[in-house]
A and B are shown apart, each in its own frame.
Chain A
Amino acid sequence: MRTLIKGGQVIDPGRMNQMADILIEDGKIHTIDVNLQPTLKNPESVTIIDAKGLIVCPGFIDLHVHFREPGFEYKETIATGVDSAVAGGFTTVCCMPNTNPVNDSQSITDFILRQAKIADKARVFPIGAITKGSKGEELAEIGELHQAGCVAISDDGIPVMNSLVMRRAMEYARAFDLPVIDHCEDSHLSAGGAMNEGFVSTELGIPGIPNAAEEVMVARNIFLAELTQSRLHLPHVSTIGSVRLLRDAKSRGVSVTAEACPHHFSLTEEAVRTFDTNAKMNPPLRTDADVQAVKGALKDGSIDVIATDHAPHAVHEKQRQFDNAPFGIIGLESALPLTLNLVEDGVLTIEQAIAKLTCEPARVFKLPFGTLALGADADVTLIDPKKSWTLDPSRLRSKSRNTPFAGWTMKGQVVKTLVGGRVVYEAE
């Protein structure tokens, strides 16, 4: 089984950026070179994909998604989740453990992997819980979670408030070289909050979540990572103060990595003015100064990765009043154009932008994907960087519709997605 991706701009960040053809054989990257077609043996048996005018890059990797299965299948299943992923150009996703039951045991991890295998689209890597039931008290069976296939541990939306429990989790995870992810939020400081604490929350009379709620926990986690010499990954960095702490920690050689979400560099708290519950997520949309800080950190590499925090919720849940509506938005199918906006704005080069979606997340979780190296699994995404389209929530592949980007004109479209050499998504 051979496929030739012909005539595209091949961008494999740090390794290649040129017009070339890619020959895929048996699901692996076989050859990359200019004008491969004439050299093919038995050319009639090769499937040709015309990539003229397209960017051809490694399939995207999302370190932070919520696929809601088991337990909340009405929001998203693993099958609809991976559908949404490949439509957004993602070939690998790491799913958070806040399911019901929580993914704190081998059997839940097994179940998730089995459902992913049945769905058979994107690669799915579960993230296991830090503590049993994500209650923040006793450690989950982290070793067994690792053996079952978990690539990191996190209690996801529930911060591990007890610093001793966090210290022990970091120490214990070191035995398996697992990154530890903590949703950085001091739950006392954020209690009752539904949006960023600032002028907009003051005018709207909505309880606020101050930047400090995130920053004190970022600081604590950095100190604990230093103490325990473990791998710390900071999800969804949203404040200027977190960026400052991150930069300082990295300059001192602390083993810390970080991600930013497209909504945190695309929107500010102003989006909440209409009480739009699709602008409600945690951490909340912040101020312009925070947005600029996050962009700056993406530019200088302090923030390694762009991740979506894809968090589906049903329409009736988001129709609740703002303070009672659940936190979170879907993001897999809007991540690419929002990331490309950073290229348009001169924040990132196209190569850097693609790196934040491919080789960087692969490095952070030590995944053997996100590359077009010869012999690698042929996970490939084809992008039309110039194509404009309007985001219509009813046309998304996700089961849920909770996006603040409805009606936005997006520039840059995923044209085809291949996993292991097989086309799993084609734009209509």
Chain B
Amino acid sequence: MSLKRKDLLSISSLSPEEIDLILEAAEPFKEVSGREIKKVPALRGKTVVNLFFEPSTRTSTSFELAAKRLSADVINFSPGSSSVVKGETLLDTARNIESMQADIIVLRHSSSGAAESLARHVRSSVINAGDGWHEHPTQGLLDLFTIKEKKGRLSGLSVAIVGDVAHSRVARSDIHALLKMGAEVRVVGPPTMIPAFIERMGVKVFSNFDAALPGVDVIIMLRLQLERQGRSLFPSMREYATLYGLNSERVQRTGTDLLVMHPGPINRGVEISHEVADSSQAAILDQVSNGVAVRMGLMYLLSQLQ
């Protein structure tokens, strides 16, 4: 079994079968990361280029670790965000990288659609590591992996995604991923952070966090981009924390054995309280370690095709 595609650009373009395939491929690699010698030769002789036009620590580290544990040669390339403003460099940079015979290009870019346009122009496999507000598909996959690991299933679960959905690529990938796998999705946030017609994606929209809580099995808290304050999206961090922050009381109100997730990095005391972030229900660090396994599984599958 292999993925019948060159690239991983979005969750929206994947079938449920392909998602299952990637999640299954990740399983054995999770075990690899627990060994004393955390390395397998699956990608030996292959070159993986991490092309990050936007600053990122955890995603680029996760991809780097995943590629190295697969024995690939890894190059980290961060052209910096100043060239993004001019915009012309992505294609030229990518062509340069391709000329160095990169097998896989992992792209992070501030523009929605960047990974799709890159994939059209290069022969290398392209993995979207986040494009603008559009998608962050490996985050969606690792979230599914984590939920499945903790809950034993995806279908029939009720999942709330809380915060700035409008400006979140994580939210879009999670929504597509969860709906495709049969979960129910509730999005929660002030109407200034909920994008137009999102209910047409098949989600339920709540502006009152408390009303969304009963019966929820999983809550994914989105990181509040603090720099958005002052752009009339929310009046103050204080009010945001009161209305949309996850605290122990709200965890109680779900009435379920709640799983708490967050793509990180977390703003303690803003979208999530100390107690909840450090509680046994929080799977935030599991998400990080599962991220490496999922990215290993994905790169393994993409390299099978080459």
Contact = CB atoms under 8 A, between A and B. Distances in A.
B87 A205 contact: no
B196 A322 contact: no
B90 interface: yes
A275 B116 contact: yes
A201 B133 CA distance: 10
Contact of B133 (A198, A205, A274): A205
Contacts of B262: none
A198 B201 CA distance: 12
Interface stretch (B55-63, B106-114, B242-250, B286-294): B106-114
A396 to B, nearest CB: 22
Contacts of A207: 133
A202 B197 contact: yes
A320 B87 contact: yes
Contact of A201 (B91, B114, B131, B195): B195
Interface string A321-342: 1111100000000000000000
Contacts of A320: 87-88
A198 B197 contact: yes
- Count class of interface residues, chain B: 20 to 34
B195 A319 contact: no
Contacts of A34: none
B197 A322 contact: no
- Count class of interface residues, chain A: 20 to 34
A391 B278 CA distance: 61
Contacts of A323: 110-112, 132
A83 interface: no
A377 to B, nearest CB: 45
Please indicate which of the listed interface residues B12, B112, B116 has the most CB atoms of chain A within 10 Å of its own CB.
B112
Contact of A199 (B86, B91, B169, B196): B196
Interface string B226-253: 0000000000000000000000000000
A203 B12 contact: yes
A324 B132 contact: no
Nearest to B109: A321
Interface in B189-207: 195-198, 200-201
Given A275-B112, A322-B112, A199 B197 contact: yes
A203 B112 CA distance: 10
B180 to A, nearest CB: 14
B174 interface: no
A207 B228 CA distance: 14
Main secondary structure of the interface of A (DSSP, over half): loop
A202 B135 CA distance: 11
A321 B196 CA distance: 23
A322 B172 contact: no
A201 B196 contact: yes
B134 A199 contact: no
Contacts of A205: 112, 131-135, 169, 172
Contacts of B116: 274-275
B117 interface: yes
A208 interface: yes
A209 to B, nearest CB: 11
Interface string A287-330: 00000000000000000000000000000100111111100000
Interface in B58-115: 84-88, 90-91, 109-114
Contacts of A208: 195-196
A206 B196 contact: no
B112 A204 contact: yes
A206 B200 contact: no
A321 B87 CA distance: 6
B197 A321 contact: no
B88 A322 contact: no
Given A199-B200, A206-B132, A321 B117 contact: yes
Nearest to A194: B112
A274 B117 CA distance: 9
Interface string A179-216: 00000000000000000011101111111101000000
A197 B197 CA distance: 10
A202 B205 CA distance: 14
Interface string A269-286: 000001100000000000
A211 to B, nearest CB: 11
Given A203-B201, A321-B114, A322-B111, 4 more contacts: A202-B198, A205-B169, A275-B112, A323-B111
12 contacts: A197-B196, A201-B195, A201-B196, A202-B195, A205-B131, A205-B133, A206-B134, A208-B196, A275-B112, A320-B88, A324-B85, A324-B87
Q: Which 8 A-B pairs have the closest CB atoms?
A: A275-B113, A205-B133, A321-B111, A320-B87, A324-B87, A205-B134, A202-B195, A199-B197
Interface of B: 12, 84-88, 90-91, 109-114, 116-117, 131-135, 166, 169, 172, 195-198, 200-201
